[in-house]
């Protein structure tokens, strides 16, 4: 994997980059290597900084790291038939890695070797701004390029404010360069833009959502597949150049916003609500959609209409939804404690740059955690993992943290990342991605010859249990008709039942518990 670091002040180490007054910008390309105009655009820019020197001012104003191709093996799966929807180039790479992972769904779960390398880069070098260059499918329209910057409540407010102001400036400059652009939107109905468009927020499985959880601004650049390749490259070049210029011009404000955001995160206190997800509100504002005439054709093959657009430009009065409200706000703990056997989760915490320490003594106390109910699994994997759905219930119970337990304090710049990882209800938590699926598996079972005599003793000694069992027999015909369910009723209430089944092994620590663990772990 190759990165080109450009610094006219010789800032070629992470320490020198962080000490520099210049903004440090990473330009990431080829996360989907069939969507490759970013590679060409950013290398043209590098040539104009270093060789022709027509853009040397960018090199003097910012330190730049260009990743020409992130998904390297996908890039080498090269050919003319990799992107059926796309209008050039003649040949391009593939969407997924050599082991068929989509890296643009992998930022927080980090299954790909490429992503592990990217996370080490991000948390070692800590960019001030991050580009992710793509090509998008969808309805045809006049816009050559669409842009998205995180501005919802899942991003730090000061950084969101900076990003919005920057985007307003850059989008106008890119249009002046000759490239009509719009926010990265979804059409309610691609055949009728008058029905409205919406701009969603991205979770931390995606680049921009992940950078937001890192307290960093980022930009998603999406040129349109149906436009010819050359204007797509030129539009990407324009966006990258104009945004770097904005980062230089407003660099002091950018760096201050990042320092403030990191400081706020590092002061996160137990019980403080943290926004982990934001949804669109119903608020809408007028938007003049600059489209192309929709001319669908009847298909004898599919038996339905097939989308088609003429080259006739049209302007359609519509509306846009781009106002957000927090939809998942959870109280922070003082820390998370992860038992040492959960090595994959512990490795992810380290990859995401989170500070932690290990205990060296066993500690028994009443800890807060969760129980999972109504657990369901899909019939097919997504990005190699079976993602469960579930409901959660808070539990406080006696548990023993064994020596070697990993403790991740919340009061650090990565507080939001820690909560995304270890709060099961978060949209891209490790639980949702299947890292803890084995806790949903029952490992011991009771045979009828063992449970039957135990059940008789339980009924004889416990009138309340007997009444509950008889009520279930009367009111639940399905239960009454199932010998297995009837025996399971007693097994679940016996001391033989696995009390760890459907229990989250990670616990939330109070401030007092965290302080106690620090004292005995020194």
Do the domain assignments include residue 409?
Answer: yes
Beta-strand relationship, 63-67 and 197-198: unpaired
* Distance of alpha carbon 221 from alpha carbon 241, whole angstroms: 12
* Distance of alpha carbon 187 from alpha carbon 488, whole angstroms: 50
Q: Are residues 301 and 372 in the same domain?
A: no
Q: To 10 degrees, the CA torsion angle through 286, 291, 295, 298?
A: -80
Which pairs from 226-234 meet CB under 8 Å and 24+ separation?
226/85, 226/87, 226/140, 227/87, 227/144, 228/87, 228/88, 229/37, 229/87, 229/88, 229/89, 231/144, 231/179, 232/37, 232/135, 232/144, 232/145, 233/37, 233/40, 233/41, 233/44, 234/41, 234/178, 234/179
What pLDDT is stored for residue 311 in this prediction? Answer: 93
Report yes or no: 93 and 30 within 8 Å, Cβ to Cβ: yes
How far the first Cα of the chain sits from its last, in Å, is 39
Closest CA to 61 of 11, 2, 123: 11
What pLDDT is stored for residue 184 in this prediction? Answer: 97
pLDDT in tens, 4-28: 999 999 999 999 999 999 999 999 9
What pLDDT is stored for residue 392 in this prediction? Answer: 98
What pLDDT is stored for residue 138 in this prediction? Answer: 84
* Distance of alpha carbon 69 from alpha carbon 1, whole angstroms: 8
Do the domain assignments include residue 273?
Answer: no
- Give CA angle at 127 (230, 350), nearest 5°: 120
Q: Are residues 152 and 14 in the same domain?
A: yes
Do the domain assignments include residue 115?
Answer: yes
* Distance of alpha carbon 5 from alpha carbon 46, whole angstroms: 10
What pLDDT is stored for residue 32 in this prediction? Answer: 98
Report yes or no: 66 and 10 within 8 Å, Cβ to Cβ: no
Question: How remote is the C-alpha of 439 from its chain's centroid?
Answer: 24
Report yes or no: 135 and 231 within 8 Å, Cβ to Cβ: no
Q: Are residues 107 and 151 in the same domain?
A: yes
Task: Give me the domain span that covers residue 425.
Answer: 327-442+500-520
Report yes or no: 381 and 356 within 8 Å, Cβ to Cβ: no
Q: To 10 degrees, the CA torsion angle through 38, 39, 43, 45?
A: 0
Q: Are residues 254 and 343 in the same domain?
A: no
Domain count, the chain: 3
Q: Are residues 185 and 203 in the same domain?
A: yes
Q: Are residues 233 and 370 in the same domain?
A: no
Q: Are residues 303 and 343 in the same domain?
A: no
* Distance of alpha carbon 425 from alpha carbon 421, whole angstroms: 10
Neighbouring-strand partners of residue 141? 291
What pLDDT is stored for residue 287 in this prediction? Answer: 97
DSSP per residue, 59-86: HHH-EEEEES-SSHHHHHS-BTTS-TT-
What pLDDT is stored for residue 53 in this prediction? Answer: 97
DSSP per residue, 451-509: HHHHHHHHHHH-HHHHHHHHHHHHH-HHHHT-HHHHHHHHHHTSTTS-TTTTB-S-EEE
Tell me which DSSP letter residue 203 carries.
Answer: -
Cis peptide before 89 (omega within 30 of 0): yes
Do the domain assignments include residue 274?
Answer: no
Do the domain assignments include residue 477?
Answer: yes
Structure token digits, residue 130: 């991050």
What pLDDT is stored for residue 41 in this prediction? Answer: 98
Do the domain assignments include residue 272?
Answer: no
Positions of the chain with pLDDT lower than 50, given as ranges: none
Q: Are residues 419 and 488 in the same domain?
A: no
* Distance of alpha carbon 220 from alpha carbon 38, whole angstroms: 11
Looking at residue 52, which CATH number applies to its domain? 3.40.630.10
Q: Are residues 507 and 410 in the same domain?
A: yes
**Helix, strand, coil % over all residues of the chain, rounded to 5:** 35, 25, 40
Q: Are residues 286 and 346 in the same domain?
A: no
Q: Are residues 120 and 232 in the same domain?
A: yes
* Distance of alpha carbon 204 from alpha carbon 428, whole angstroms: 7
Beta-strand relationship, 129-136 and 218-224: parallel
Q: Are residues 33 and 83 in the same domain?
A: yes
């Amino acid at each position: 994997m190759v990165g080109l670091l450009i610094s006219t002040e010789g800032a070629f180490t992470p320490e020198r980059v962080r000490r520099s007054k210049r903004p440090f910008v990473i330009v990431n390309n080829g996360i989907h290597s069939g969507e490759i105009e970013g590679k060409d655009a950013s290398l043209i820019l590098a040539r104009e900084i270093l060789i022709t020197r027509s853009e040397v001012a960018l090199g003097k104003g910012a330190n730049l790291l260009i990743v020409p191709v992130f998904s390297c093996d996908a890039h080498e799966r090269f050919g003319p038939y990799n992107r059926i929807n796309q209008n050039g180039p003649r040949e391009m790479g593939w969407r997924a890695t050599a082991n068929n992972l989509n890296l643009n769904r992998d930022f927080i779960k980090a299954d790909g070797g490429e992503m592990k390398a990217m996370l080490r880069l991000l948390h070692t070098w800590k960019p001030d701004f991050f580009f992710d260059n793509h090509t998008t499918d969808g309805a045809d329209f006049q816009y050559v390029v669409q842009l998205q910057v995180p501005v919802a409540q899942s991003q730090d407010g000061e950084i969101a404010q900076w990003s919005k102001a920057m985007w307003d400036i850059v989008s106008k400059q890119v249009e002046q360069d000759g490239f009509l652009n719009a926010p990265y939107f979804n059409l309610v109905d691609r055949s009728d833009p008058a029905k409205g468009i919406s701009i969603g927020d991205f979770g931390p499985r995606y680049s921009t959502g992940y950078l937001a959880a890192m307290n960093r601004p980022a930009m998603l650049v999406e040129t349109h597949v149906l436009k010819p390749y050359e204007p797509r490259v030129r539009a990407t070049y324009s966006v990258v150049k104009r945004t770097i210029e904005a980062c230089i011009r407003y660099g002091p404000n950018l760096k201050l916003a990042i320092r403030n955001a990191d400081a706020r995160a590092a002061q996160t206190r137990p019980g403080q609500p943290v926004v982990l997800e934001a949804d669109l509100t119903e608020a809408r504002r007028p938007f003049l959609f600059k489209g192309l005439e929709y001319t669908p054709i009847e298909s004898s093959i599919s038996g339905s209409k097939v989308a088609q657009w003429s080259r006739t430009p049209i302007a359609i009065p519509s509306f846009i939804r781009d106002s957000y409200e927090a939809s998942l706000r959870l109280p922070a703990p003082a820390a998370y404690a992860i038992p040492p056997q959960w090595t994959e989760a512990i490795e992810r915490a380290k990859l995401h740059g989170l500070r932690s320490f290990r205990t060296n003594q066993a500690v028994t106390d009443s800890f807060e955690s969760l129980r999972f109910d109504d657990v369901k699994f899909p019939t097919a994997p997504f990005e190699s993992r079976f993602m469960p759905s579930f409901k959660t219930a808070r539990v406080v119970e006696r548990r023993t943290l064994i020596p070697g337990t990993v403790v991740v304090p919340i009061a650090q710049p990565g507080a939001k990342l820690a909560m995304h990882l270890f709060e099961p209800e978060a949209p891209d938590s490790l639980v949702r991605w299947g890292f803890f699926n084995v806790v949903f598996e029952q490992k011991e079972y009771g045979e009828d010859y063992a449970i039957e005599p135990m059940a008789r003793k339980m009924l004889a000694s416990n009138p309340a249990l007997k009444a509950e069992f008889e009520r279930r027999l009367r009111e639940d015909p399905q239960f009454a008709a199932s010998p297995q369910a009837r025996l399971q009723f007693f097994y679940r209430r016996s001391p033989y039942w696995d009390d760890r089944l459907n229990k989250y092994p990670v616990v939330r620590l109070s401030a007092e518990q965290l302080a106690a663990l620090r004292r005995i772990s020194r």
